[in-house]
Amino acid sequence: MLIRALKLSFGAMIGTLIAYFLGLSHPLTAGVIVLLSLGKTKRSSIEIARVRIKAVALALVLASVLFFIFGFTVYAFSLFLFTYIPLILIFKLEEGLVIGSVLSTHLIIAASSGFGILFNTLSLFVIGVGIAMLVNLYMPDMRGEIIQDQRYIEERFRDILLIMATMIKGNQYFDQSMFVEIETFINDALVRAKMNADNYLRADMSYYANYMNMRKMQFEILKRMFNLTCQIEMELVQAALIADLTKHFAHSLSESNSGEGLLEELAAVLAECQDGTLPKSRQEFENRAILFQYLSEFRHMVELKREFNEKQKELFKGSTFSKCF
């Protein structure tokens, strides 16, 4: 927040001073444009600039025509807005609505749409947008914080898996309040990862955002697995095998683990469960069905990690990120 406040104030001051020393009319407008054009990330600043260039060009052309025909009056400006706003919405240029409207008032104030006022107005816009993009070249690197986020999420996943391993064996544990805290943390971590990716124009920085998104999907599966363990009402031979598999998954959970080995172990456990004797009661049948569904969710969760690794290998082939897998 402090860095952003400094960038906003410094950028607005520099934009205003440049416009003032160039002898442009309404130099403060350049400072205001800096404030309006400074996005939270490098990518957003570029996107804002792209949209606003189109919106301002449309505004000045439309204003010049309408003011020339109907005069430089409030009524002409109202007609301009009545025409300009629908066009902005049609061409999806909403980000430029305010700046385009404000800059068009410069023509009314000058009572002219000649080359001089148009040049002055465009110069203010170029200075404001240009300074905003220059100031945004510096962005704090959040990778250290994101790596800490990764470790924290993996630790919480590990805790939940170990709890479930205990629950599968018949030791009940129903406190689900931890899920709310972890879900909030994952959502915040995903926002940070996306912002960090948008601060780099290289594609490989999207790795962290992709990773957090994968963990978010896994977390949804983890919640379903936890709910299934809450429904187990009796101790089973198969439950011990699945509990051991869950415990092994918890201890092997890491960013670099592709999940290939876990899928092989899961297939072996599933085969052993299927080769066992048939259920002797309805209750045993229902509990074994729950365990089978649990294994299906388990496999889906591990497959998400394997697919993530394969996609990232292909996407970042030859980059430094390929060393992560």
Q: Which residue has the tokens 């080769």?
A: 275
Q: Residue 125 to residues 13, 17, 30, 36, 207: CA-CA distances in angstroms?
A: 15, 14, 6, 11, 35
Q: Give pLDDT tens digits for 219-244.
A: 999 999 998 888 877 676 688 888 88
> Which pair of structure tokens corresponds to residue 300?
């889906």
**DSSP string of 52-91?**
HHHHHHHHHHHHHHHHHHH-SSHHHHHHHHHHHHHHHHHT
Sign of CA pseudo-dihedral 280, 281, 282, 288:
negative
**What counts of helices (H) and strands (E) characterise the chain?**
12, 0
| Residues ≥6 apart with Cβ < 8 Å to 82 | none
Q: What pTM value is reported for the model? A: 0.73
Q: Is 112 helix (H, G, I), strand (E, B) or coil?
A: coil
Buried b (16+ CB within 10 A) or exposed e, 106-140: bbbebebbeeebbebbebbbebbbbbbbebbeebe
**What is the CB neighbour count within 10 angstroms for residue 295?**
22
Distance in angstroms (rounded) separating the CA atoms of residues 185 and 1: 20
Banded pLDDT at 122 (limits 50, 70, 90)? very high
Q: What single-letter amino acid sits at 219?
A: F
Confidence bin at 2 (pLDDT 50/70/90): confident
Q: What is the pLDDT, as a whole number, of residue 322?
A: 43
Q: What is the pLDDT of residues 168-182, one digit of tens each?
A: 877 666 667 788 899
Q: How far apart are CA 92 and CA 94, in angstroms?
A: 6
pLDDT digits (tens, 9 = 90+) for 248-287: 899 888 878 878 888 888 888 888 777 767 667 777 778 8
Q: What is the DSSP string of 227-271?
A: HHHTT--S--HHHHHHHHHHHHHHHH--SS--SHHHHHHHHHHHH
CB-based contact 191:213 (threshold 8 Å): no
pLDDT score of 121 more than 50: yes
| 321 pLDDT higher than 50 | no
The pLDDT of residue 198 is above 70:
yes
pLDDT tens string 15-66: 999 999 999 999 999 999 999 888 878 778 888 889 999 999 999 999 999 9
- Distances in whole angstroms, Cα of residue 180 to Cα of each of 3, 177, 220, 263, 314: 31, 6, 12, 29, 34
pLDDT of residue 318: 52
3-state secondary structure of 35: helix
Of 183 and 203, the one with more pLDDT: 183
